[in-house]
Amino acid sequence: MRLLPPVSVEWNRLAPSRWSGTWLSPWDIAAALLVVGFVVLFALVSRNLVSPLASLPAEPSSLDPRLLPEYALRTSLRMLIAMGVSLLFTFTYATWAAKSPRMGPLLIALLDILQSVPILGFISITVVFFLSLTPGRMFGAELAAVFAIFTSQAWNMAFSFYQSLRTVPDELTEAGRVFGLSAWARFWRIETPFAMPSLIWNMMMSMSGGWFFVVAAEAISVGHTTIALPGIGSYIALAITERNMHAILWAIGAMLVVILIYDQLLFRPLVAWARRFRIDQQEGDDEPAPPWALLVLRRSKLMDRLALPFQTAMRWSYRQKPPALATPLPQGPSRRIASDVLWYGLLAVAAAAALWQGWLFFGHEISWHELQEVLLLAFFTFLRVAVLIALASAVWTPIGIYVGLRPRLTAIVQPIAQFLAAFPANLLFPVAVSLIVAFQLNPDIWLSPLMILGTQWYILFNVIAGASAIPRDFRDVAAGFQVRGLQWWRRIALPAVFPYYITGAITASGGSWNASIVAEIANWGDRTLEARGLGAYIADATTKGDYAHIALGIVVMAVVVTLVNRAFWRPLFRYAERKYRLA
Amino acid sequence: MRENTVLDVRHLRRAFPRPGGGELLVLDDVNLTLHKGEIVGLLGRSGSGKSTLLRLISGLAEPQGGEITYLGQKIDGPPAGIAMVFQGFALLPWLTVFENVQLGLEAQHIPAKEARARALAAIDLIGLDGYESAYPRELSGGMRQRVGFARAMVVNPNVLLMDEPFSALDVLTAENLRTDFLELWAEGQLPIQCVILVTHNIEEAVLMCDRVLLFSTNPGRVTGEIRIDLPHPRNRNDPRFGDLVDRIYVEMTAGRIARAEQQRAGLRAGIGMLLPRVSSNLISGLLETVAAEPFNGTADLPDIASDLQMEIDELFPVAETLELLRFARLEGGDIVLTEAGKRFAEAELDERKRMFRRRLLVHVPLAVLISRVLDERETHSAPKRRFLDELEDHMTPDAAEDTLRALIGWARFGELFAYDDETGMLSLENPS
């Protein structure tokens, strides 16, 4: 299998931007307030809706493995639909952000904050709302699940697309304009193709992340409301309730197969196809053999025939005169100032309203004492994430360097690491829980590793990629001057992989926060283990249907994650980029 | 105005607002008339705004003053009859040669059948037959630029704008492409009426153009016009060719000196002087070369440019730095070493550093300012930002960064002060 370059969903948001000098911009504060307003609004709506779900079609009642193919199909269809919605979001939201000088900074700050909101938190506060859209039917539950997956996929895709739109080479844009392409035609013929390679990488990353949440989203209870959609997730939920280890192994097997099929049929062909959009590519770059699925598609001409009507329609659309709206009317300075005042005024009012609404909501329900308690819990979870990332780094960095310097070993280990990162680790939780129960271990400590079970691989495969990218020259220099042992690690290996390691660690850290909601509380049959932490707090509040506390937990986690990113990861990432990036 | 005027540029002005108020002029009072059947060259150093002028003419940018008319129509937005060839080719890597060439036709409502025929004809004309289905990445630089030409020709433009079209190519390929283009042009096979060629290569301008406009830097102004009446095909060994090249060198250095005088008189403080990023190796190297045989202290700029294989864009900044530090004078297309210049060329490294340091402190106001500030401060150190802020009162942030970087490089060579990129601090201390 081919080596994949290091990727991180977090890279885009850390890359230098206009506000790179500022730690927290006014836009961040406005965006944070708007997100709080959104969370509170949904919490209020959800609480006031009568729970309509007494008669949802029953959850799967059988653990017959023969049901699994159908369940797997349903689960992966949900993923695919969510991916479609995410693409739609990406093309509109990111384009708007890139093209509108006025909305851009706010939209990007908003995206950054949204990316810090725990994904299972989204589903906790929106599920009742979605169910109420189609009372008594499955459709609402499907919507809720798709929405949850969407929130795990969309943000980083939009970030990547936004970054690409901002970095289209000037000459290409100019060529498009000189030769008379309309804005619409330039978007599809120049900007989107240019953005394609990095967008596809981000789609793959999103897909990996999505498996984790689709499994969690298919079987969830908020208060008296229970979702149980036919799918692998609910199958596992049932298996856990019935303590059926065989069923769990079957489910793990099914998941493996589904991920492999996605990889072979969808992503490998897509990545190979996207190579043509790479702008820096030279003839004679080590071009791997195209994957079999792409070859079959190309040779059969099936895609050509299917795509023909679409292409014809697009070609027709390029020829249309752009509507008059597309050319902005020149504004006098006074009008511009007036509309600026209006816009900033509106924004300030919206932020103030969100603040007021949040104050009313939380002030009513939450005491100072409780807030302190939640902050303490957040600190516990923070401690867990920090310790685990440090441990995982200490373990995987040397191993990654060792592997990365040996091409043949790399060829074996790298794809496995990437596969493990895509595998929804929550499938393994039952196994871990039964072990903890069997050995009577302390859940405060021993539940913690679950948080990093799936995310540690990002560190490993990024370090491997970094080590295999160390130039031959460096290694010759080291050999020639007899740089060995500690000096070799300190002066050559660690600095060379540092930027890659940071990329991996940032992704692992973000993922672990998200996983804490599932990992700090775990069930096996009627046994429930709970660790003290913010994740468990949100999970508990979700089970009780206590919206004030769900909302509080979500807001606190989003704030903590944003602050950790700004105060720690972003400076570190910039430093690594500046000092250690080769090229 | 003559009958056959295609394009008319009147009192064109282009400026950018400065962060601290006021504005920075990029182009000032530029006039240009383009007639049918001529190739006009815009010759100047980088930063003289000639590429900006091209973008204004093509409707990609808007001027702050003055007017451009194309066939009597004021230009706002890219007009249909003007096409461009780009320095970096600007081909879409995801389209084949054929699709790239067709790009402009599709946008023009040309029926598919006709578009196809025209694209094939243009590919044929420009010598790309057989490459229709290739992707740009499979082609060499020369072939890629041929695609760029074909893409521009296929829309039958009246005006062809060329933005340093050969500067990204190696010498042989560039010559080959120039000759092919001139041949087609002379035979009247090209569907174009006139050409504007932006270049910083003097020989290229003399080889291809009927008229050459010389541009000054900061702000860009037309300082002279030279008519080239040699018949095509032109021969580089023709003495008249050499004379024209010499003449352009003389005019370009003369224009530069007049401006330097002006600058000296106008800006007594002199902090606003732009410093070119020239390495101390180049400074030493040029001094040594001019001091040695066969030049013995006086060299003809065209000669030395072709000897060293440098284009004016590379040579002029070095020569100007020598003049700034009074190591040499530029006179009528010649570079003449001063006494100091000759001594420098013969000196050992330590003596060179000493001379260099002294000259920085006498002739470069920014160096004086920085050493004074560093001396006065108790810590003998100051952040780079402090000086950038001061520079940005006089120039764009980019130019300020470049100027300070240039001086840091010289100061390091002259051991005047040190700079730590990690902390962004300038200091008098030597690294421990």
Q: Which of A254, A279, A304 is the last residue of a domain?
A: A279
Q: Which of A227, A252, A279 is the last residue of a domain?
A: A279
Query: A213 and A95, same structural domain?
Result: yes
A245 plus A383 within the same structural domain: no
SS3 B209: coil
Please check whether residue A176 lies inside any domain of the structure: yes
Both A565 and A435 in one domain: the answer is yes
Judge: B107–A281 Cβ closer than 8 Å, yes or no.
no
Q: Which residues of A touch B135 (CB under 8 A)?
A: 276
Alpha carbon of A248: minimum distance to chain B alpha carbons (Å): 46
Query: Residue B258's pLDDT is what?
Result: 55
Q: What percent of chain B has pLDDT over 70?
A: 93
Three-state SS annotation for A419-441:
HHHHCCHHHHHHHHHHHHHHHCC
A92 pLDDT band, cuts 50/70/90, is very high
Residue A535 lies in a domain: yes
Instruction: Tell me which of B137, B144, B162 to substitute to probe the interface with A (most A C-beta atoms closer than 10 Å).
Output: B137
Cα–Cα distance for residue pair A3/A286, rounded to 1 Å: 11
Query: Which pair of structure tokens corresponds to residue A67?
Result: 């049901």
Give dist(CA A335, CA A342) in Å, integer. Answer: 10
How many whole angstroms separate alpha carbon B14 and alpha carbon B57? 12
Whether A552 and A406 map to the same domain: the answer is: yes
Same domain, A273 and A379: no
| B-chain residue closest to A197, CA distance | B94
* Whether A404 and A272 share a structural domain: no
| β-bridge mates for residue B160, sequence order | B83, B195
Contacts of A579 in chain B (CB under 8 A): 422
Q: Is B274 helix (H, G, I), strand (E, B) or coil?
A: coil
Asked whether the beta carbons of residue A318 and residue B107 sit closer than 8 angstroms, the reply is yes
Q: pLDDT (tens digit, 9 = 90+) per residue, B337-382? A: 999 999 999 999 999 999 999 999 988 889 989 999 998 888 888 9
What A334-343 contacts at long range (C-beta under 8 Å, 24+ apart), as own/partner pairs, is A340/A102, A343/A102
Bridge partners for B337 per DSSP: B328
Q: What is the pLDDT of residues A227-275, one digit of tens each?
A: 778 888 888 888 888 888 888 888 888 888 888 888 888 888 887 888 7
The domain tally of chain A equals 2
Q: Cβ contacts of residue B100 below 8 Å, gap of 6+? A: B91, B92, B136, B147, B151
Interface residue B292 vs chain A (CB under 8 A): no
Question: Which domains occur in chain B, in start order?
Answer: 5-251 (3.40.50.300), 280-345 (1.10.10.10), 365-427 (no CATH)
Give me the numbers of helices (H) and strands (E) for chain B, helices first please: 15, 16
CB contact under 8 A, A277 and B107: no
Query: For A169, which residue in chain B has the nearest alpha carbon?
Result: B90
Distance, in Å, from the CA atom of A176 to the CA atom of B105, rounded to the nearest integer, reads 12
| Complex ipTM value | 0.79
**CB neighbour burial string for B286-320, b if at least 16 within 10 angstroms, e if fewer:** bbebbbeeebebebbbbbbbeeeebbbbebbbbbb
Of A169, A177, A276, the CB nearest to B78: A177
Best to test chain A binding among B60, B89, B106 (most A CBs inside 10 Å): B106
Residue to test with chain A: of B54, B95, B103, most A Cβ within 10 A: B103
Residue of B nearest to A190 (CA): B92
Check CB contact of A278 with chain B, cutoff 8 Å: yes
pLDDT in the model for residue B34: 93
Decide if B108 touches A, using CB distance below 8 A.
Answer: yes
pLDDT at A4: 41
Task: Name the region of A525 (left: φ>0; alpha: ψ -120 to 50; beta: rest).
Answer: left
Nearest chain B residue (CA) to A174: B60
- The answer to whether B422 contacts chain A (CB < 8 Å) is yes
Residue A13 lies in a domain: no
Q: Do A189 and B422 touch (CB under 8 A)?
A: no
What percent of chain A lies above the pLDDT cut of 90?
Answer: 13
Which residues 6+ apart lie within 8 Å of B207 measured at CB?
B178, B182, B234, B236, B241
Q: What is the pLDDT of residue A5?
A: 41
Task: Single out the residue in A236, A260, A279 at which a domain terminates.
Answer: A279
Which domain, by its residues, includes A128?
A: 27-279
Considering only CA atoms, give the Rg of chain B.
Answer: 24
Same domain, A520 and A421: yes
B86 CB within 8 Å of a chain A CB: yes
How many other CB atoms sit within 10 Å of the CB of residue A321? 8
- Domain assignment present for residue A484? The answer is yes
Please tell me the pTM assigned to this model: 0.83
Sheet holding B381-383, edge to edge: B381-383, B425-427, B418-420
Say whether pLDDT at A381 is over 90: yes
pLDDT in tens, B98-151: 999 998 888 787 888 999 999 999 999 998 999 999 999 889 989 999 999 999
Provide the 8-state DSSP code for A65: G
Of B233, B214, B230, B232, the closest CA to residue B222 belongs to: B214
What confidence tier does B27 reach under pLDDT thresholds 50, 70, 90? Answer: confident
Is A526 within 8 Å of chain B by CB?
A: no
pLDDT exceeds 80 at position A319: no
Within chain B, what is the greatest distance between any pair of CA atoms? Answer: 78
Average predicted confidence (pLDDT) for chain A: 81
Residue A475: per-residue pLDDT: 83
Asked if residue A311 belongs to a domain, the reply is no
Q: Which residues in chain A have their CB less than 8 angstroms from residue B77's CB?
A: 327
Whether A479 maps to a domain, the answer reads yes
Q: Are B92 and A169 in contact (CB under 8 A)?
A: no
SS3 label, residue A361: helix
Please report, for the domain that includes residue A86, its CATH number. Answer: 1.10.3720.10
**More confident of the two residues A110 and A426:** A110
Shared-domain flag, residues A398 and A254:
no
Q: How confident is the model at residue A447 (pLDDT cuts 50, 70, 90)?
A: confident
Low-confidence winner among A225-229, A297-301, B279-283 (lowest mean pLDDT)? A297-301
Kindly state whether residues A275 and A398 are assigned to the same domain.
no
Q: Is the pLDDT assigned to residue B264 strictly greater than 60?
A: no
Do A387 and A239 lie in one domain? The reply is: no
Rounded distance, CA B266 to CA B264, Å?
A: 6
Q: Is residue A66 part of a domain?
A: yes
pLDDT of residue B21: 63
Is B1 a residue whose pLDDT tops 70?
no
Residue A406, domain member (yes or no): yes
Shortest Cα distance, chain B CAs vs residue A338, angstroms:
21
Q: Is the pLDDT of residue A54 over 60?
A: no
**In whole numbers, what is the pLDDT of chain B averaged over residues?**
86
- Output DSSP code: residue A501: H
Query: Which string of DSSP letters, residue by residue, matches B251-266?
Result: HHHHHHHHHHHHHHHH
Q: Tokens at residue B20, please?
A: 């601290």
Cross-chain Cβ contact A171/B87 below 8 Å:
yes
Judged against a pLDDT cut of 90, whether residue A400 lies above it is answered with: yes
Residues A386 and A262 in one domain: no
